[in-house]
């Protein structure tokens, strides 16, 4: 079994996920780079290794049961442990996403990746996580999932365009994460939700105003919480995000 802390970051081949892998690797941790595309995954692993990270590739499509099971087996075989899971992979799909126009297939695809994908990966990794002395789960959410913000006055709205699939996918992810936190309360597993802010990535056509490294910071904070730290919280760099 590996003696060092091992993390898995889903969707780590680019954007915020790549920077989370880089940041966790800088702590001296081994980092599994979860990514579905072989070429993009290999390139990210090479780039991370060149930056001094003990990175290894984990073929992973979060929408595919067999892929997720194989990923858990790969980590078991390679390191024998998993301490930190960062559920970062997500899609926004087509924009604009107006409720009156949306293709149900878009809605299904977004929920499948952003919500069911997190459940699928978390549950597959749970046997490994339960063996860790200090397991941490970080679910990358978004303030667009905040019903308080979505229902505020126009002046208060900082929640992006109308997005009938993407925004509710993060609301549901938050609700689901709270149920995990309730079930796991009293264990040493801390599970929290982080919002990276509005970050320039493929997800938003690089319109965001923060860098991926800035967006990764909240995930690194939540991945490195001390024992007895908070669980079931929804936070960004500025503190608590309203539900
Ligand atoms: P991104 O650059 O589009 O990266 C998304 C990552 O998820 C990519 O690596 C992508 O892989 C991966 N992915 C998508 N579907 C997948 C699947 N089925 N299986 C495995 N991997 C999959 O987006 P990002 O902005 O870095 O977003 C990272 C997280 O932050 C997401 O949870 C997002 O909702 C959240 N977030 C972002 C912002 C923002 O302003 N950017 C704001 C709030 C929250 P491929 O390269 O193969 O597509």
Q: Which ligand 1 atom is nearest residue 62's CA?
A: 19
Whole-angstrom distance, CA of residue 242 vs CA of residue 171? 11
**Is residue 14 among the annotated active site residues?**
no
Whole-angstrom distance, CA of residue 82 vs CA of residue 76? 8
Whether the bond into 96 is cis, omega within 30 of 0: yes
Q: Say yes or no to pLDDT of 158 above 80.
A: no
We report the CATH number of the domain holding residue 19 as: 3.40.50.720
Whole-angstrom distance, CA of residue 144 vs CA of residue 162? 10
**Is residue 166 among the annotated active site residues?**
yes
Give the binding-site residues of ligand 1, using a 6 Å CB cut-off: 10-11, 13-17, 35-37, 40, 60-63, 88-91, 113, 117, 140, 142, 195-196, 198-199, 201-204, 208
> Structure pTM?
0.98
210 within domain boundaries: yes
When pLDDT is cut at 50, 70 and 90, the band that residue 96 belongs to is confident
52 within domain boundaries: yes
Tell me how many domains the chain contains.
Answer: 1
Q: Are 199 and 219 in contact (CB under 8 A)?
A: no
Domain span at residue 139?
6-240
Whole-angstrom distance, CA of residue 85 vs CA of residue 133? 14
20 within domain boundaries: yes
Q: Are 5 and 74 in contact (CB under 8 A)?
A: no
φ, ψ dihedrals at 33, nearest 5°: -95, 95
How do residues 198-228 score in pLDDT, each as one tens digit? Answer: 999 999 999 999 999 999 999 999 999 999 9
Give SS3 for 97.
strand
1 within domain boundaries: no
């Amino acid at each position: 079994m590996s003696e060092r802390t091992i993390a898995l970051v889903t969707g780590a081949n680019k954007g915020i996920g790549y920077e989370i892998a880089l940041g966790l690797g800088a702590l001296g941790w081994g980092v599994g780079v979860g990514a579905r595309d072989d070429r993009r995954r290999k390139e990210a692993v090479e780039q991370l290794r060149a930056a001094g990270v003990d990175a290894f590739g984990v073929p992973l499509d979060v929408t595919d049961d067999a892929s997720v099971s194989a990923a858990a087996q790969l980590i078991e075989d390679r390191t024998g442990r998993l301490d930190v899971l960062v559920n970062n992979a997500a899609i926004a799909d087509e924009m604009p996403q107006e409720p009156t126009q949306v293709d149900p297939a878009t809605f299904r695809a977004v929920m499948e990746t952003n919500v069911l994908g997190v459940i699928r990966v978390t549950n597959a990794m749970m046997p490994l996580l339960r063996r860790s002395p200090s397991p941490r789960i970080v679910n990358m959410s978004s303030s667009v999932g905040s019903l308080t913000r979505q229902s505020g006055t126009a002046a208060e709205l900082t929640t992006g365009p109308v997005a009938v699939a993407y925004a509710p996918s993060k609301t549901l992810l938050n609700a689901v994460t709270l149920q995990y936190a309730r079930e796991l309360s009293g264990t040493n597993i801390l599970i929290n939700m982080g919002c990276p802010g509005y970050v320039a990535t493929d997800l938003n056509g690089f319109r965001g105003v923060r860098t991926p490294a800035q967006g990764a910071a909240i995930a690194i904070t939540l991945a490195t919480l001390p024992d007895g730290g908070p669980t079931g919280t929804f936070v960004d760099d500025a503190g608590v995000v309203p539900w």
